Amino acid sequence: MKDFNLKSYHVRAMNASSEAEKASINQELKDLYETLSEEDKKEFNMQLQTFLIKEMATIKSFYDASQSENLN
Q: What is the mean pLDDT of each run of 10 residues along the chain (72 residues)?
A: 93 96 97 97 97 92 82 66
- Torsion region of 16: left, alpha or beta (phi above 0 gives left; psi -120 to 50 gives alpha): beta
- pLDDT in the model for residue 72: 62
Please give the pLDDT value at position 45.
98
Whether the model pTM is above 0.75: yes
The closest of 11, 33, 31, 32 to 22, measured between CA atoms, is 11
For helices 38-71 and 6-14, the axis angle rounded to 10 degrees is 50
Contact 43, 1 (CB under 8 A): yes
